[in-house]
C-alpha cells in the first residue's frame, strides 16, 4: 500500500478486502481514500454488521455524517462494546445515548455498566 497507493489496481483490492471485513484494509481505505463515496459506503456497511474497526473509523472520520450516529446507536443497542465505547466517548451528551447505555446496563452488559 505504501509503495503502490497510486496503482489503479490498488483501490479495488483494498475495497474488496475492506468489504470482507479486513481490519487493516478498512483502516487503509479510510486513511488513503476517505473522500471516496464508495469508501464511506463500505465503512458504513461494515459498521452496520458490527465490525469494530469500521465502527471506530466511522466515528473518527465520518462523525458529522447523519448516518453515523444512527449506525453507532443501533450497534450499541445490540450490545456491541466498541459501539458503546464510541457512543459514550463522542456522543455522550445525546439523550438517546444515555437511554441506550442504561438499557444495556439493565441487560447486564458489563461494558455499559462501567461506562
Query: Do 87 and 44 have their domain in common?
Result: no
Query: Do 74 and 93 have their domain in common?
Result: yes
The crossing angle, in degrees rounded to 10, of helices 23-33 and 52-61 is 20
Average pLDDT, the chain: 90
Question: How far is 80 from 68, CA to CA, in rounded Å?
Answer: 15
Q: What is the pTM of this model?
A: 0.84
Q: Which residues contact 98 (CB under 8 A, 6 or more apart)?
A: none
Query: Do 89 and 73 have their domain in common?
Result: yes
Query: Do 76 and 53 have their domain in common?
Result: no
What would the pLDDT profile of 9-46 be if each residue is shown by its tens digit?
Answer: 888 999 999 999 999 999 999 999 888 899 999 999 99
Count of domains for the chain: 2
80 is written with which cell numbers? 456491541
89 CB neighbour count, 10 Å cutoff? 10
Query: Do 50 and 94 have their domain in common?
Result: no
Query: Do 110 and 67 have their domain in common?
Result: yes
Query: Do 55 and 1 have their domain in common?
Result: yes
CB neighbour class for 12 (10 Å; exposed up to 12, middle 13-18, buried from 19): exposed
Task: Please tell me which residue, 94 or 2, carries the higher pLDDT value.
Answer: 94
Query: Do 93 and 112 have their domain in common?
Result: yes
19-35 burial string, b = 16+ CB within 10 Å, else e? Answer: bebbbebbbbbbebbee
Query: Do 32 and 72 have their domain in common?
Result: no
> C-alpha distances in angstroms, 9 versus 13, 20, 47, 84, 100?
7, 17, 25, 36, 42
Structural domain of 55 = 1-62
Amino acid at each position: 500500500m505504501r509503495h503502490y497507493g497510486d496503482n489503479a489496481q490498488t483501490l479495488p483490492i483494498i475495497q474488496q478486502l475492506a468489504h470482507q471485513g479486513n481490519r487493516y484494509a478498512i483502516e487503509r481505505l479510510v486513511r488513503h481514500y476517505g473522500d471516496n463515496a464508495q469508501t464511506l459506503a463500505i465503512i458504513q456497511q461494515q459498521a452496520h454488521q458490527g465490525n469494530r474497526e469500521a465502527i471506530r473509523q466511522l466515528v473518527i472520520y465520518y462523525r458529522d455524517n447523519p448516518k453515523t450516529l444512527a449506525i453507532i446507536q443501533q450497534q450499541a443497542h445490540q450490545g456491541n462494546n466498541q459501539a458503546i465505547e464510541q457512543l459514550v466517548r463522542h456522543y455522550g451528551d445525546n439523550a438517546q445515548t444515555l437511554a441506550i447505555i442504561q438499557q444495556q446496563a439493565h441487560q447486564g452488559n458489563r461494558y455499559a455498566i462501567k461506562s
